[in-house]
Chains A and B, each alone.
Chain A
């Protein structure tokens, strides 16, 4: 563990990313105290520019505090990112493990299925899913999960394919361990590092996807989100640039932080690869 932290720390970008990410989490966690009350309520005059009338980041067309919207939106973004990634991991790891461990026809079938999902335009599918199942936080999370599992399945399959022939797996088979036990206790723990790296990138892309959906008006209508803030600022961009600029900065920083942390995790979990790339690449 200390080794892991030492290697992670060597990547400066990853440390910066981690700090930003922790700040975002902190803002999300303290939003109800930082900005008490609903972010939907009027807090001042409409279209107040940033810094005026006590509004740090200005107000929108209905006098709502943009900073409050961003703080409360952070909760939704992180929640959607985490939950949809967890769901996508569940599907992807199960299918990938199934394909990689069994091989043969099962492998073929799962891989064709995965390829199909990688071929179709995933964003269009996500829009369609949310629109048909009506926009709620559940349908948004579901739609994001449906379009983000294929890379997980591919990575897990490749890992399982290479691990299942190793001696320690053969030994477990000879000992009479059940297949399920082998998959869960012998192979999966050894395949964890690429899954961990991939999931930080998946949270990042889930946040981007959620913001795009709510920008198009497909967010949960009861929840304040970053994409919704930008979407509502779009038509009045000539009047109030701050309405679309600041939520976008919030998305950018969060996603950038997650990507940087992902690179750091990759360096820390695959020390050999990191050394080949000359440390912090």
Chain B
């Protein structure tokens, strides 16, 4: 891409991202109002944890005596100033609760994503090289299997095998409780706790990336510039790495961006199974307590993360591939 076009492209994507975030806020607002009953009591939770003062505060926050568009405006203003409401159950602002849990989720989804991408691309490339041979069929079967298996069940089965039967790995939490540790010991401890959840979350995407890499590699391998390279006498290994794989990776990256939301959704299930202290676990606890402000906060936060991640992949894509269409 020409350098002069880049700022315009980023600006357009930025504006689009802002619109999406605004739409999410409106969506949250509508959800609260569409629910049966008074929005204030919905937000406060139905099981009587809210006192009159809190209800009054909520009614003021939403301006429930005002016309709907005024209420929306009040709500927008408070969310955009990062006031996501207050969790009466946990006696803390929602924004603070979410931010506290964010690093754990980022670690889990990041590790799962890195594993899925690395292993998926490798398997996909292997399958593409051996089309129709047994390695190819094995990979197709693995992909089909993980498409059809519920994420949370995979997690439970891994716990059953590696924690209950083999007793190799811890089955819950992010670190050992009641053990004093320093430096690398802490890292090793967290890594042990991370392995099963990251594997669980990553396996499904591994299947997706493997299939995608296989398909795009086969497509690219047929193109003229690969034949040219081969005719020039470029070694086969180099053709694969520099000519085929490089070009085949671009759709995989785009797709990874599209799937960011699903990865975060999946982390709710995985964090529930492994008691991983991230925002997914926070959402599950909020669900049990019917703590709606926290649930809405998690929805807002994950949506914003997806938007940011998409922005990042757009940028990455535009920088990597000079031919990319910048008009969109």
Contact B284 A216 (CB under 8 A): yes
* Chain B residues, CB < 8 A from A215: 150, 152, 269, 272
Q: Which among A118, A124, A238, A259 is the interface contact of B144 at CB below 8 angstroms?
A: A259
CA A259 to CA B268, docked complex, whole Å: 25
Chain B binding surface, main DSSP class: helix
Chain A binding surface, main DSSP class: helix
Q: Which residues A94-125 have CB closer than 8 A to chain B?
A: 116, 118-125
Contact B31 A124 (CB under 8 A): no
Contact A119 B303 (CB under 8 A): yes
Q: What is the minimal beta-carbon distance from B145 to any residue of chain A, in angstroms?
A: 7
Number of residues from B at the complex interface, CB < 8 A: 49
User: Which stretch (A42-50, A163-171, A245-253, A267-275) binds chain B?
Assistant: A245-253
Q: Which residues B286-314 have CB closer than 8 A to chain A?
A: 287-288, 290, 292, 295-296, 298-299, 302-303, 306-307, 310
Residues A230 and B295 in contact in the complex (CB < 8 Å), given A116-B20, A133-B36:
no
Nearest B residue to A255 by beta-carbon distance? B148
* Chain A residues, CB < 8 A from B160: 237, 241, 244-245
Q: What is the minimal beta-carbon distance from A242 to any residue of chain B, in angstroms?
A: 11
Number of residues from A at the complex interface, CB < 8 A: 40
Contact A131 B262 (CB under 8 A): no
Contact A124 B156 (CB under 8 A): no
Residue-wise, chain B 137-165 has the 8 Å CB interface mask toward A (1 for contact) of: 00000001101111111001101100010
Contact B296 A120 (CB under 8 A): no
Contact B303 A120 (CB under 8 A): yes
B169 interfacial contact with A, CB 8 Å: no
Contact A123 B150 (CB under 8 A): no
Contact B31 A208 (CB under 8 A): no
B261 interfacial contact with A, CB 8 Å: yes
* Chain B residues, CB < 8 A from A230: 150, 152-153, 156
Q: What is the minimal beta-carbon distance from B75 to any residue of chain A, in angstroms?
A: 16
Contact B150 A132 (CB under 8 A): no
Contact A259 B148 (CB under 8 A): yes
* Chain B residues, CB < 8 A from A233: 156
A158 interfacial contact with B, CB 8 Å: no
Q: What is the minimal beta-carbon distance from B208 to any residue of chain A, in angstroms?
A: 13
CA A156 to CA B54, docked complex, whole Å: 48
Contact B147 A259 (CB under 8 A): yes
A211 interfacial contact with B, CB 8 Å: yes
Nearest A residue to B264 by beta-carbon distance? A121
**B residues touching A (Cβ–Cβ < 8 Å)?**
20, 23-24, 27, 31-32, 34-36, 42, 144-145, 147-153, 156-157, 159-160, 164, 258, 261-262, 264-266, 268-269, 272-273, 283-284, 287-288, 290, 292, 295-296, 298-299, 302-303, 306-307, 310
